[in-house]
Amino acid sequence: MPVTSNSKQENMKLIYLDNAATSWPKPEDTYKAADSYARDIGGSPGRSGHRISVEAARIVFDARDSLSMLMGAGNPMRIVFCKNATEALNISIFGLLNPGDHAIATGMEHNSVLRPLKALEKRGVELSIAQCSPEGEVDPFIINKMIKKNTRVIYMLHASNVTGTIMPVEEVGKIAAGKGILFCLDAAQTMGALDIDVLKMNISLLAFTGHKSLFGFQGTGGLYIREGVEAMLKPLLLGGTGSNSEKFEQPDFMPDKYESGTLNTHGIAGLGAGVDFILNTGVAAIRKKEIELSGKFMEEAGTVKGLRLFGPVDPLKKTPVVSFLLNGRDPADIALKLDEQFGILSRAGLHCAPSAHMTIGSFPGGTNRFSFGYFNSMDDVKAAIKAVEELSIE
């Protein structure tokens, strides 16, 4: 990697293992697309009608089109851009639930789902949390049993940002469809890394972020809205959309209803290039490499004395996110040593998911987390193993 550390060891090679927080580096085309938009185009997408405004609108549309292909949406008009997955989830929660409604979520959810839901619980929304196993796995049968007359939505993440555990999306989608309720998937950790087919999986709403496994920039994300769902989904933001400008009412059509204010076109240009990189490389090829990396790490780390792995140890059951503790030591202390002594960049603590840590038994101290990505190499994995081995006997 072309970066050196600021610490004492000036020329230390950095090994980036924090891809679940944000992926880095990005594909070359991601950088180029943002630069080319900013330098050579620069117009406001679809606001003005002159050539660079239309060109900016084309860039935004192409990104929408690529995203639609990647998730099998069937129509790019079903995708709305947001600033991140959190905003998309907030639309999906505050935009849908009213006092008296019942919602279901799992114990592995991120705070981006649980905080809005807990806030609404105080305003009269009923909430049921499906408890998960210590591996982070949820039994669809438990979710099924929780459904009652006033249940409107099941919120579930596709894979945990703490343990990588992949959730039973197809089964839960079938349950929701069978009961005629909505199913909202938080794909912040998975879009681009795992296969997603929103129609086949019976997904009503899918929240994604641009800057993780989609290889785009921070400040981008979005929401897939299944046809018809927009009729019952209120937007969070109202304002200028470049359409219906003579009216004081917010447009009721896709995607303008949810896209008030000028979009992050630089970011979306990069995101579109990131998604195209995935479409060209293939989700299967990305998945294969990530399984090899996390599989190798878990296999070797499992033999390190004093190292405790959390979540599934089968790489097929998870994204390449590995949580661990070393001799019960403070994860923050280990993370600092990994950074300063080994140039390994990781994340320690609760990962904005206290409920997940309660589920796996690592609350409130949290865990160390290595999250591998497509641009990591087997050498990075070997260096990570060597580092935890050395720290374990320290």
51 or 382: CB nearest other proteins: 51
Q: Which is nearer to other proteins, 244 or 377 (CB)?
A: 244
Q: Is 255 in the site for other proteins (CB under 8 A)?
A: yes
Nearer to other proteins, 137 or 256 (CB): 256
How large is the angle between the packed helices 28-36 and 265-281, nearest 10 degrees?
Answer: 150
Rounded to whole angstroms, the Cα distance separating 361 from 307 reads: 15
Tell me the window of 45-53, 293-301, 333-341, 354-362 that interacts with other proteins (CB under 8 A).
45-53
Residue 68 in contact with residue 78, Cβ under 8 Å?
A: yes
Note every long-range contact of 27-33, with CB atoms under 8 Å and residues 24 or more positions apart, other chains counting.
27/215, 27/273, 27/274, 27/277, 29/273, 29/274, 29/276, 29/277, 30/215, 30/216, 30/217, 30/270, 30/271, 30/273, 30/274, 30/277, 31/270, 32/273, 33/59, 33/269, 33/270, 33/272, 33/273
Does 48 bind other proteins (CB under 8 A)? Our answer is yes
**What are residue 29's DSSP bridge partners?**
none
> Is 253 one of the binding residues for other proteins (CB under 8 A)?
yes
CB of 259 or CB of 290, closer to other proteins:
259
Token pair for residue 199? Answer: 């129609």
| 244 lines the binding site for other proteins (CB under 8 A) | yes
Binds other proteins (CB under 8 A): choice among 14, 52, 77, 309: 77
Strands 221-225 and 79-82: antiparallel
Nearest residue (CB) to other proteins, 178 versus 240: 240
Task: Give the one residue of 28, 38, 58, 240 binding other proteins; rule: CB under 8 A.
Answer: 58
Min dist. Cβ of residue 385 to other proteins (A): 48
**For 44, phi and psi rounded to 5 degrees?**
-85, 125
| Closest distance of CB 59 from other proteins, Å | 9
Tell me how far, at minimum, the Cβ of 196 lies from other proteins, in Å: 21
> Could you count the other beta carbons within 10 Å of the beta carbon of residue 114?
24
CB 301 within 8 A of CB 308: no
Name the minimum Å distance from CB 45 to other proteins: 7
Q: Is 65 in the site for other proteins (CB under 8 A)?
A: yes
User: Site residues (CB under 8 A) for other proteins?
Assistant: 45-50, 54, 57-58, 60-62, 64-65, 76-77, 241-246, 251, 253-256
